[in-house]
């Protein structure tokens, strides 16, 4: 019976296998959670270096009136205004009055109709702002109205004041959202500080706002746990 001989290259392989360290476990990649933007918040076209309400733009739907009965178009615009159809499509009051104004900038009837439409628009915007502290849909509508109003009459005092109020509501929403995100992260000291700062800043800008007061109370409660 012949003795079993280990070939030199096999011995080398066995030696290498014994000496090779086990592969190190790869640490899992930690991914930061992605903050989703509420799709109902205003989505506004921004141009240039402007920011906030001053940068919002609205392109009026085009309504071709050349060769049509202008008296009929005026009646359509007045009817749209009476029905509260202000800007959504080319048959709404503001796009119609703007198209009529292009044809005859001096027409007093058109100017009066556009002015009434603008005031109705701002009144609707104020109603939206009343709910914009805690309703994203209301803030979105207020921002859309701001874009329309700025296009129609950017130098109008009422429009300028309204744009400022929309800017403030947008700022407060984002501060509240920042504080609420910090609270949801689990209550680390730095997160609580962020939440407290955000809610307190809201209350400086709008004292007694219920959403910020509720958030501040939650942050202070988490701080003493």
**pLDDT reading at 128 higher than 60:** yes
Mean local confidence (pLDDT), 145-151: 95
Longest dimension (CA), the chain: 122
Give CA torsion, residues 118, 130, 133, 58, to 10 deg: -10
**pLDDT reading at 90 higher than 90:** yes
Mean local confidence (pLDDT), 149-160: 95
Strand partners, 45: 57
Assess if residue 171 is contained within a domain.
Answer: yes
Structural domain harbouring 99: 52-223
Assess if residue 15 is contained within a domain.
Answer: no
Residue 74: which of 63, 59, 61 has the closest Cα?
63
Mean local confidence (pLDDT), 91-116: 95
**Cα–Cα distance list, 83 to 48, 77, 122 (Å):** 36, 10, 16
**pLDDT reading at 2 higher than 90:** no
Assess if residue 121 is contained within a domain.
Answer: yes
pLDDT per residue as tens digits for the range 25-80: 333 333 333 333 343 344 343 333 454 555 567 888 888 887 678 899 999 999 99
pTM of the complete model: 0.73
Assess if residue 34 is contained within a domain.
Answer: no
Mean local confidence (pLDDT), 80-88: 97
Mean local confidence (pLDDT), 173-178: 96
Measured on CA atoms in the order 211, 198, 175, 124, is the torsion positive or negative?
positive
Mean local confidence (pLDDT), 126-132: 96
Assess if residue 203 is contained within a domain.
Answer: yes
Mean local confidence (pLDDT), 212-220: 93
pLDDT at site 14: 40
pLDDT at site 11: 41
pLDDT at site 41: 41
pLDDT band at residue 190 under the 50/70/90 scheme: confident
Assess if residue 31 is contained within a domain.
Answer: no
The domain tally of the chain equals 1
What's the distance, CA 70 to chain centroid?
A: 39
Assess if residue 43 is contained within a domain.
Answer: no
Assess if residue 201 is contained within a domain.
Answer: yes
pLDDT band at residue 223 under the 50/70/90 scheme: confident
pLDDT per residue as tens digits for the range 7-23: 343 343 344 444 444 44
Mean pLDDT, all residues of the chain: 80
- Secondary structure element (H or E) that encloses residue 60, with its range: none
- Torsions phi, psi for 202 (to 5 deg): -60, -45
Q: How far apart are CA 164 and CA 224, in angstroms?
A: 37
pLDDT band at residue 133 under the 50/70/90 scheme: very high
**pLDDT reading at 83 higher than 80:** yes
Give DSSP secondary structure letters for 169-200. Answer: HHHHHHHHHHHHHHHHTT--HHHHHHHHHHHH
Retrieve residue 212's tokens: 């910020």
């Amino acid at each position: 019976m012949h003795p079993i001989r280990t070939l030199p290259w096999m011995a080398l392989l066995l030696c290498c296998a014994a000496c090779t360290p086990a592969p190190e476990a790869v640490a899992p990649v930690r991914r930061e959670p992605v903050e989703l933007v509420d799709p109902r918040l205003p989505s506004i076209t921004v141009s240039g270096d402007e920011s906030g309400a001053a940068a919002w733009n609205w392109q009026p739907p085009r309504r071709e009136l050349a060769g049509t009965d202008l008296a009929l178009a005026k009646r359509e615009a007045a009817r749209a205004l009476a029905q509260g159809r202000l800007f959504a499509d080319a048959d709404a009051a503001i796009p119609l009055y703007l198209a009529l104004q292009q044809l005859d900038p001096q027409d007093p009837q058109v100017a009066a109709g556009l002015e009434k439409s603008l005031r109705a628009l701002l009144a609707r915007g104020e109603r939206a702002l009343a709910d914009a502290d805690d309703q994203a849909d209301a803030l979105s509508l207020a921002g859309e109205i701001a874009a329309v109003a700025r296009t129609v009459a950017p130098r109008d005092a009422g429009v300028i004041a309204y744009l400022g109020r929309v800017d403030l509501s947008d700022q407060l929403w984002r501060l509240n959202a920042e504080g609420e995100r910090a609270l949801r992260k689990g209550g680390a000291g730095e997160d609580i500080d962020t939440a407290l700062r955000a809610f307190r800043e809201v209350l400086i800008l709008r004292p007694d706002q219920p959403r910020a007061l509720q958030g501040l109370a939650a942050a202070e409660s988490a701080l003493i746990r």
